[in-house]
């Protein structure tokens, strides 16, 4: 029995180790793939939300990028169901930081003469490429509605804007929205209701 045990252990150990390594690698790959899929699914919506809040494309990209990094670095090990509220919570914090910084910068540089947009350059032909759309008239109507809704959204108070976009665009339920916004479900309902009222007052029923 003892001889068997002595003989068995050297053979069993490498097999167990090998198995463990494979399992860990596989888990990591699976998680990385899931995170990639999750981020790919939210990045465009997150960009739109950040753009509505910051009213600047580059700042919005930076905010989304930072939120992605923070989620991947600090919360990748958390259950996948928690990623969405966490991601939008991080994004919201980042947006708020950028708005604060912008306010401070605005105060400091208010006395400087305006020198125009230094980042303004030639239009990118790739950026200008039209996306495939079957109906030109329908597209025109939708584009008009998009412009009107985006403009109305930027005029909403930040919390209302956030509640509306998380619920309508991202499709989060009240509890998830509350987790993302860091407030109670009652507050989410209030913000959302007021947002809808304000948008309807401005846009009508938005028939498209």
Partner 1 sequence: MSPVNETVTEFERNARVVLERSISRIDARTRSRLNQARHAALATAAKPQRPLWLRGATLMPATGAAALALLLGVALWHGEPAHRPGAAIEMPLPEGQGASMEDMDLLADSEALDLLEGWDGPFYEWATSETDLNGESDG
Give the binding site for partner 1 (CB under 8 A): 28, 32, 35-36, 39-40, 43-45, 47-48, 57, 61, 64-65, 68-69, 71-73, 76, 124, 126-129, 131, 133, 142-143, 145-146, 149-150, 164-165, 168-169, 196, 199-200, 205-208
- Reported for 20-24, long-range contacts at CB under 8 A and 24+ positions apart, including other chains, are none
Calpha distance 45→43 (Å, rounded):
6
- Give the nearest distance from C-beta 104 to partner 1 in angstroms: 25
Nearer to partner 1, 86 or 145 (CB): 145
Calpha distance 91→68 (Å, rounded):
8
> Is-contact 174 185, C-beta < 8 A?
yes
Calpha distance 198→109 (Å, rounded):
34
Calpha distance 43→67 (Å, rounded):
10
Nearer to partner 1, 169 or 174 (CB): 169
- Give the nearest distance from C-beta 41 to partner 1 in angstroms: 10
- Give the nearest distance from C-beta 116 to partner 1 in angstroms: 21
Nearer to partner 1, 159 or 167 (CB): 167
Reference 173, options 95, 47, 88, 75; nearest CA is: 88
- Give the nearest distance from C-beta 153 to partner 1 in angstroms: 9
Calpha distance 100→94 (Å, rounded):
10
Nearer to partner 1, 37 or 103 (CB): 37
Question: In this structure, is the dihedral angle defined by the CA atoms of residues 36, 42, 44 and 47, taken in order, positive or negative?
Answer: negative
- Give the nearest distance from C-beta 35 to partner 1 in angstroms: 6
> Is-contact 176 110, C-beta < 8 A?
no
- Give the nearest distance from C-beta 141 to partner 1 in angstroms: 10
Nearer to partner 1, 49 or 179 (CB): 49
Nearer to partner 1, 13 or 20 (CB): 20
């Amino acid at each position: 029995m003892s001889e068997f045990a002595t003989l068995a252990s050297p053979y069993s150990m490498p097999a167990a180790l090998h198995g463990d390594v494979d399992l860990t690698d596989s888990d990591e790959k699976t998680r990385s793939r899931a995170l990639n899929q999750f981020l790919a699914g939210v990045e465009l919506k997150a960009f739109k939300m950040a753009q509505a809040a910051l009213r600047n494309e580059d700042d919005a990209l930076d905010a989304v990028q930072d939120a992605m990094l923070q989620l991947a670095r600090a919360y990748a090990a958390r259950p996948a169901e928690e990623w969405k509220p966490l991601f939008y919570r991080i994004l919201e914090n980042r947006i708020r930081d950028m708005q604060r910084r912008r306010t401070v910068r605005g105060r400091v540089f208010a006395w400087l003469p305006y020198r125009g947009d230094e980042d303004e350059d030639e239009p990118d032909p790739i950026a200008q490429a039209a996306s495939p759309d079957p109906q030109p008239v329908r597209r025109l109507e939708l584009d008009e509605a998009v412009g009107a809704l985006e403009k109305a959204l930027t005029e909403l108070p930040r919390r209302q804007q956030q509640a509306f976009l998380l619920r309508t665009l991202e499709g989060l339920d009240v509890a998830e929205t509350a987790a993302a916004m860091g407030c109670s479900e009652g507050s989410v309902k209030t913000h959302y209701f007021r947002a809808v009222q304000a948008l309807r007052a401005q846009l009508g029923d938005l028939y498209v």
